[in-house]
């Protein structure tokens, strides 16, 4: 066992034979954790501390910043950009719900009905990743454009007014978010649906469940882990996204990601940008924990 547990990066304290002194044996797990801990410290903890510290500093780029524990940055950032913050979570939530509505039937079909087409369909789900995120979003700009066939078709059937448009509306942003994060919804859903034992469905049918009832009583609860994973993987990045608004939205549909981006890169207002980043991070954390507790605790444990 010791030989297996010793990390490959030669650690002379824990030689790889059976005659290891007990102290070295007890150190082994910590040594194994070391690379991961270092990684976390370097790429998560240090930037996080830097960000928190920046959000509490005052000054300017030319004069330099000093840590003054200026908490007021937060309250002023919230009052100024509260709309964008709320909007981010609303858009991300809408996109997550849409992605679930589209992704669940798709994942179900791939996992349980596709047969020999299964692998091909999975490749098609992943295929968009072969092109850049930006290019794909730009493509949507053309698809949803005022001269595009989508708008034309919607105008013909009367769902869109004479001068109605899709581009530069919140709907376009939500659609873009849904599209861009759909694979993150489909893949975990597929993974959990694929594991549902078809014999359980037979048993349910044998026990007087119609196919619809069998779905709600067996398939759906057993796929909850995939639903939780898929919604988190969609919601979290969607809440922080700024590309979709930039290409498909308008100034009135700005999300918090756009604000942070412009504060950091255009206005060079580092403390507010940092304060907003921390706020987004904390809000997502709270939302996710609440969600996992409510859905997860009941179904996963």
Partner 1 sequence: MPDAHRGAPRDLRLRGLRKTFGDFVAVDELDLTIPAGSFFALLGPSGCGKTTTLRMVAGLEVPTAGQVLLGEQDITGLRPYRRPVNTVFQSYALFPHLTIEDNVAFGLRRRGVKDVKGAVADMLSLVELDGFGRRRPAQLSGGQQQRVAVARALINEPEVLLLDEPLGALDLKLRRQMQLELKHIQDRVGSTFVHVTHDQEEAMTMADTIAVMNHGEVEQLGSPRELYERPATRYVANFLGQSNCLQGRVVEHGVDSTVVDVHGTLVRLPGTHGTRGGAQSLGVRPEKAVALAGQRAVRDPAFANAVAGTVTDVSFTGLSTQYVVRTGWGQDLAVFAQNDGSDVPADRGDEVLVAWRPEHTFPLRDASPVVEPEAAPLADAAR
Applying CB under 8 A, which residues contact partner 1? 197, 199-200, 202-210, 213, 217-218, 221-222, 299
Number of C-beta neighbours around residue 152 at 10 A = 11
Least Cβ distance, residue 214 to partner 1 (angstroms): 8
Give the torsion through C-alpha atoms of 99, 100, 105, 107, to 10 deg: 80
Distance CA 81, CA 33 (A): 40
Residues in Cβ contact with 300 at an 8 Å cutoff, skipping those fewer than 6 apart:
224, 225, 228
Residue with tokens 């801990």: 37
Distance CA 218, CA 197 (A): 10
Buried b (16+ CB within 10 A) or exposed e, 88-124: bbebbbbbbebbbeebbebbbebbbeeeeebeebbee
Name the residue nearer to partner 1 (CB basis): 203 or 268.
203
Name the residue nearer to partner 1 (CB basis): 169 or 205.
205
The CA distances from residue 177 to 94, 110, 205, in Å, are: 9, 22, 38
Distance CA 41, CA 63 (A): 30
DSSP notation for 206-253: HTT--HHHHIIIIIHHHHHHHHHHHHHHHHHHHHT--HHHHHH--GGG
Least Cβ distance, residue 215 to partner 1 (angstroms): 12
Retrieve residue 238's tokens.
């969607």
Least Cβ distance, residue 200 to partner 1 (angstroms): 5
Name the residue nearer to partner 1 (CB basis): 225 or 257.
225
Name the residue nearer to partner 1 (CB basis): 205 or 246.
205
Distance CA 248, CA 289 (A): 31
Least Cβ distance, residue 195 to partner 1 (angstroms): 11
Least Cβ distance, residue 219 to partner 1 (angstroms): 11
Residue with tokens 């547990």: 5
**Residue 58: enclosing H or E segment and its boundaries?**
strand 57-60
Name the residue nearer to partner 1 (CB basis): 51 or 222.
222
Least Cβ distance, residue 41 to partner 1 (angstroms): 38
Least Cβ distance, residue 296 to partner 1 (angstroms): 13
Name the residue nearer to partner 1 (CB basis): 159 or 301.
301
Name the residue nearer to partner 1 (CB basis): 146 or 197.
197
Least Cβ distance, residue 109 to partner 1 (angstroms): 22
Name the residue nearer to partner 1 (CB basis): 130 or 208.
208
């Amino acid at each position: 066992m010791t030989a297996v547990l010793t990390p490959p990066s030669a650690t002379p304290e824990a030689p790889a034979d059976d005659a290891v002194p007990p102290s070295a044996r007890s150190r082994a797990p910590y040594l194994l954790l070391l690379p991961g801990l270092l990684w976390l410290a370097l790429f998560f903890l240090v930037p996080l501390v830097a960000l928190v510290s920046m959000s509490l500093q005052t000054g300017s780029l030319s004069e330099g910043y000093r840590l003054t524990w200026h908490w007021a940055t937060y309250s002023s950032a919230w009052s100024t950009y509260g709309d964008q913050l709320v909007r981010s979570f609303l858009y991300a939530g809408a996109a997550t719900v849409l992605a679930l509505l589209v992704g669940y039937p798709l994942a179900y079909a791939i996992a349980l009905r596709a047969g020999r087409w299964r692998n091909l369909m999975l490749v098609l789900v992943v295929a968009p990743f072969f092109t850049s995120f930006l290019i794909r979003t730009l493509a949507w700009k053309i698809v949803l454009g005022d001269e595009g066939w989508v708008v034309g078709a919607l105008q013909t059937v009367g769902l869109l007014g004479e001068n109605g448009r899709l581009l530069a509306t919140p709907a376009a942003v939500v659609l873009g978010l849904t599209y861009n994060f759909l694979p993150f919804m489909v893949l975990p859903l597929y993974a959990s649906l694929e594991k549902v034992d078809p014999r359980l469905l037979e048993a349910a049918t044998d026990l007087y469940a119609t196919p619809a009832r069998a779905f709600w009583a067996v398939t759906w609860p057993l796929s909850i882990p995939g639903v939780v994973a898929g919604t988190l993987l969609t919601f979290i990045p969607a809440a922080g996204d700024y590309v979709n608004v930039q290409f498909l939205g308008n100034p009135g549909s700005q999300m918090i990601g756009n604000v942070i981006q412009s504060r950091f890169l255009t206005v060079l207002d580092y403390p507010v940008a940092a304060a907003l980043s921390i706020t987004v991070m904390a809000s997502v954390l709270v939302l996710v924990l609440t969600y996992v507790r409510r859905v997860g605790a009941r179904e996963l444990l």
